[in-house]
Chain A
């Protein structure tokens, strides 16, 4: 009933009006309680990150955000696919590469950056900087994330594609998951990021 519905001629609401209002209030109460239980069932806040890059610089954003979100009480899943798998690969994660080629922010011209051995040097320089600036290593961030309850997942299709074995990954990494479970997690999450 809208607010401007005129009252009956003597200024009182008719019994029909009152019954109508009661019914509307009841319907609204049911709706509010349904919505409330829906919100409660939602549980903790949730974040999902899809990590697709495996260079030294790109390993950091997903790991830092994941461990930080866990500290904020979020349920966090990071789904690693394609080169993102390198981050979870116990051996490769300690030696992630970095290239100056095609990166205009690096102080090296492409012609020089493309010379043999330059990528290794760039990666080593970055690693030294990371250490000098008290920034945690990739390995430390992985251990921290796992200890904080972050679910680090390795995409099964890309494990097979790149010829890796489940044992190659850090203990605690979830394997045997695919796009469907990642999608389902994303659909339920409050924050979804592709890195």
Chain B
């Protein structure tokens, strides 16, 4: 999944557990059906945390997760779609 398909981006870089999940939930609640939220985090634990959150949350579908490097820092990107 590329960034172009995301409807909204949540930047939680520099924030550690549990903030990425909590802010993801907050942003997800504000999405319209069919929207895709991109979450950009520097917390490596967010890979498992956001996956677990999406699995337990009705209407949340984890479309993709990827690791990248931005300015020499590892970033973790998550794409969550809100069900129609």
Contacts and interface: CB of A to CB of B under 8 A. Distances in A.
Contact of A73 (B14, B19, B22, B57): B57
Interface residues of B, number: 17
B24 A64 contact: no
A68 B22 contact: yes
Interface residues of A, number: 13
Most buried by B among A68, A135, A144, A148: A68
Given A71-B22, A144-B22, A133 B16 contact: yes
B56 interface: yes
A135 B56 CA distance: 24
Interface in A60-74: 64, 67-68, 70-73
B74 interface: no
18 contacts: A64-B18, A68-B18, A68-B22, A71-B22, A71-B24, A71-B25, A72-B56, A72-B57, A133-B16, A134-B15, A134-B16, A134-B43, A136-B15, A136-B16, A136-B19, A144-B19, A148-B22, A148-B26
Interface of B: 14-19, 21-22, 24-26, 42-43, 53, 56-58
